[in-house]
Amino acid sequence: MQSVWLARVTWLALAVVPGALSLPEYSGEALRASDDVGRASAVVLLWLAWAVVAFGMIVLHPLSLAAVRWLSPMIAIHVWWMALVADDAPEVWARLAAVGCALVVVVVMLRADFGARHVQAAAYGHERRHLLRPPVAVMLPSALVWLVAWALGAVALHVEPSIATA
């Protein structure tokens, strides 16, 4: 129970940290005044992914566990990248705090007790449900697909507009 609340609180804190869930060139007025629909769409999709994870942490269910475990590492990688490209000192410290929050969430959501709470939420009455351990033959291709999908997403999110339109 404590791990679920720790993940919820740190995930909500991630939304409050300035600049953690944005793109380097686009924040505030610059995003509203932008003609670059692709970058604006990327920011909207990033916030949508954050909202899906927040909803998945509130509503305990095996499907929400899958969404949380699929999306939160991607957002953690994005937050880490935003900390690397930060310019001034206050921005760097704020984004390092966001990296800490994102890492706490990723570590907590990969724990067995976090998964057990989500899986048990769909149980009937006194039934006890257990997490399944997938075999290595399934885990390796799944990890490869996950890495390729999020690498392509990261490239699409952070690519220069001149390269994307060429």
Q: Could you tell me the residue ranges of all domains in the chain? A: 2-133
The mean pLDDT of 62-70, rounded to a whole number, is 91
pLDDT attached to residue 29:
54
For the chain, the C-alpha Rg in angstroms (whole number) is 18
The arithmetic mean of pLDDT across residues 137-156, rounded, is 81
| Dist. CA 120–CA 130, nearest whole Å | 7
pLDDT band at residue 48 using 50, 70 and 90 as cut-offs:
very high
Average confidence score pLDDT of the chain: 81
Model pLDDT for residues 98-128, shown as the tens digit of each residue: 899 999 999 999 888 899 898 988 888 888 8
User: Band of the pLDDT at 132, cuts 50, 70, 90?
Assistant: confident
Strands of 76-140, DSSP E: none
Higher pLDDT, 4 or 87: 4
Count H helices, E strands: the chain?
Answer: 8, 0
pLDDT value, residue 60: 92
For tokens 């995930």, the residue is 11
Phi-psi region of 123 (alpha: psi -120 to 50; beta: other; left: phi over 0): beta
Distance CA 113, CA 111 (A): 6
Model pLDDT for residues 20-44, shown as the tens digit of each residue: 777 665 555 555 555 566 677 777 8
Type of residue found at 65? L
**Confidence at residue 104, expressed as pLDDT on a 0 to 100 scale:** 92
pLDDT at residue 130 tops 80: yes
Of 60, 5, 63, 47, the C-alpha closest to 157 is: 47
